[in-house]
Structure 1
Amino acid sequence: MSVPLVSLRGARYAYEDGPTVLDGLDFDVTEGRALALLGRNGSGKTTLMRLLSGGLRPDAGQLSVDGAPVAYDRKGLVRLRTSVQLVVQDPDDQLFAASVAQDVSFGPLNLGLAGPEVRARVDEALAALDITGLADRPTHLLSYGQRKRAAIAGAVAMRPRVLILDEPTAGLDPDGQERLLDTLARLRAAGTTVVMATHDVDLALRWADDAALLTPAGVRCGPAPHLLGRSELLAQAGLRLPWGVAVGSLLRAQGLTAADGEVPRTAEELASLVARA
């Protein structure tokens, strides 16, 4: 079995003067797999993402990258953050520079890269997020969707192997969501592994290869169509069945598809299934 790109083993974390949020957690990020992270508010999603990206250090347990334990000194954290980048839900918590290009350049500059390399990374990240035309735009004049893209571009400029996104589609209109998903598809095709935290089970079913459900009994991981079809686990995680799973069950009950028939992830896949029935 291949070594996970990023892994937590036996991780425990409690906030000061607060309850233990995660305890004995084992969690893997597999290279090349789109992973959706789901759970009710307070389940520990944000804590887990910050542990994976080095924003928090586990009280117990071990974070590893490519099987090598992460050291929480300057050198170790720089190594981690060139491999794993987290983009928080609210872009205003992440954007602070006067212009988009200046903001995107912040991470590469902190790596001590030479000017030409920084400019190349900024240009590459802006192009990847389709916001090259916004390079000189003041960040406070951006629309919400543009601020989301600028925040992601700042992470992409670090050329991470793993990009972790906290509710990236929240607050976006349908067109903005589709454009963002197209961008994530391009990033994945270029070799970036993407982890997305979301409450949207329909989006998770459509987009993810794998899903991780944070429940009071612990984390459950597996292929997205299988895991998101388990109503008892979804209930523990405070989630409902995705529409594709519900429709697939109805089609099977009516004899319109095979008992082990595929689960439609999109409206187009549903139309194809019905046309073949």
Structure 2
Amino acid sequence: MSVPLVSLRGARYAYEDGPTVLDGLDFDVPEGRALALLGRNGSGKTTLMRLLSGGLRPDAGQLSVDGTPVTYGRKGLLRLRTSVQLVVQDPDDQLFAASVAQDVSFGPLNLGLPEPEVRARVSEALAALDITGLADRPTHLLSYGQRKRTAIAGAVAMRPRVLILDEPTAGLDPDGQERLLDTLEGLRATGTTVVMATHDVDLALRWADDAALLTPSGVRCGPGPVMLADRSRLAEAGLRLPWGVAVESLLRGRGLVPGGGELPRTAEELAGWMVRREG
């Protein structure tokens, strides 16, 4: 079995003067997979993401990258953050520089890279997020969607192997969501492993290879279509059944498709599927 790109073993974390959020957690991020992280509010999703990215240090347990334990000194965290980057839900919590290009350059500059390399990384990240034309735009004049893309570009400029996104589609209109998903597919095509925390089970079913459900009894991981069709585990995680799974159950129950046939996961796919079937 291949070594996970990032793994937590026996992780425990409690906030000061607060309850234990995670205890004895084992969690793996396999390389090259799109992983959706789902759970009710307060289930520990944000804590888990911060543990994976080094923003928090577990009270017990071990974080590893490529099987090598992470250390929490300056050098160890620097190595971790060149491999794993977290983009928080609210871009205003992450953006602080005067212009888009300045903000995106912050991480590479902190790595001590030479100026030509920094410029190359900024240009690459802006192009990946389709915001090259915004390079000189003041960050306070950006739309919400543009601020989201700028925050992600700042992480991408670090060239991480794992990009962790906290509710990246929240607050975006449908067109903005589609453009962001296209961008994420482009990043995956260039070798970036993407982890997305989301409450949107329909998005997770459509997008993710694997799904991790955070429940009071622990984390449950597996292939997205399998995990997101498990009614008992979804209920334990405080989540509803995805639209696509309900449609599949209805169509199969009425004998409209043979067993094992590929079924739609979105309304658009359903419309196309019906046209093909009736044709």
TM-score range, shorter chain: over 0.9
2:59 paired residue number: 59
1:270 paired residue number: 270
Distance 1:252 1:273 in 2: 14
Deviation, structure 1 residue 120: 0.5
Question: Retained in 2: the 8 A contact 1:225–1:263?
Answer: no
Question: Retained in 2: the 8 A contact 1:4–1:66?
Answer: yes
Distance 1:23 1:264 in 2: 38
Distance 1:261 1:241 in 2: 20
Question: Retained in 2: the 8 A contact 1:252–1:261?
Answer: no
Distance 2:259 2:183 in 1: 35
Distance 2:273 2:178 in 1: 23
Distance 2:272 2:172 in 1: 28
What value does the CA root-mean-square deviation take over the aligned residues?
1.1
Deviation, structure 1 residue 218: 0.5
SS class of match (1:169) = coil
Which letter maps to 1:207? W
Distance 1:263 1:15 in 2: 44
Deviation, structure 1 residue 272: 4.8
Which letter maps to 1:132? T
**How do residues 207-218 of structure 1 correspond to structure 2 at under 5 angstroms?**
207-218=207-218
Distance 2:259 2:121 in 1: 50
Distance 2:259 2:57 in 1: 46
Distance 1:44 1:264 in 2: 31
Q: TM-score, normalised by structure 1?
A: 0.98
Deviation, structure 1 residue 257: 1.5
Which letter maps to 1:245? V
Is 1:42 aligned to residue 21 of structure 2? Answer: no
Distance 2:269 2:171 in 1: 26
2:81 paired residue number: 81
Deviation, structure 1 residue 265: 1.8
**How do residues 55-134 of structure 1 correspond to structure 2 at under 5 angstroms?**
55-134=55-134
Distance 1:272 1:245 in 2: 17
Deviation, structure 1 residue 219: 0.3
Question: Retained in 2: the 8 A contact 1:101–1:122?
Answer: yes
Deviation, structure 1 residue 223: 0.5
Runs of 4+ in 1 over 6 A off after TM superposition: none
SS class of match (2:21) = strand
Which letter maps to 1:235? A
Deviation, structure 1 residue 271: 3.5
Distance 1:157 1:96 in 2: 16
Question: Retained in 2: the 8 A contact 1:248–1:262?
Answer: no
2:142 paired residue number: 142
Distance 1:180 1:193 in 2: 15
The unaligned stretches of length 5 or more in structure 2 are: none
Is 1:154 aligned to residue 154 of structure 2? Answer: yes
Distance 1:271 1:33 in 2: 28
1:258 paired residue number: 258
Which letter maps to 1:266? T
Distance 2:52 2:69 in 1: 12
User: Which deviations, in whole Å up to 9, do the C-alpha atoms of 1:109-161 show, x marking residues without a partner?
Assistant: 00000000000000000000000010000000000000000000000000000
User: Which deviations, in whole Å up to 9, do the C-alpha atoms of 1:200-250 show, x marking residues without a partner?
Assistant: 000000000000000011100000001000111111111100000000000
The unaligned stretches of length 5 or more in structure 1 are: none
2:203 paired residue number: 203
Is 1:180 aligned to residue 180 of structure 2? Answer: yes
User: Which deviations, in whole Å up to 9, do the C-alpha atoms of 1:48-67 show, x marking residues without a partner?
Assistant: 00000000000000000000
Which letter maps to 2:185? A
Percent identical pairs in the alignment equals: 87
Which letter maps to 1:217? S
Question: Retained in 2: the 8 A contact 1:8–1:63?
Answer: yes
SS class of match (1:95) = coil
Question: Retained in 2: the 8 A contact 1:6–1:29?
Answer: yes
Question: Retained in 2: the 8 A contact 1:54–1:80?
Answer: yes
Q: TM-score, normalised by structure 2?
A: 0.97
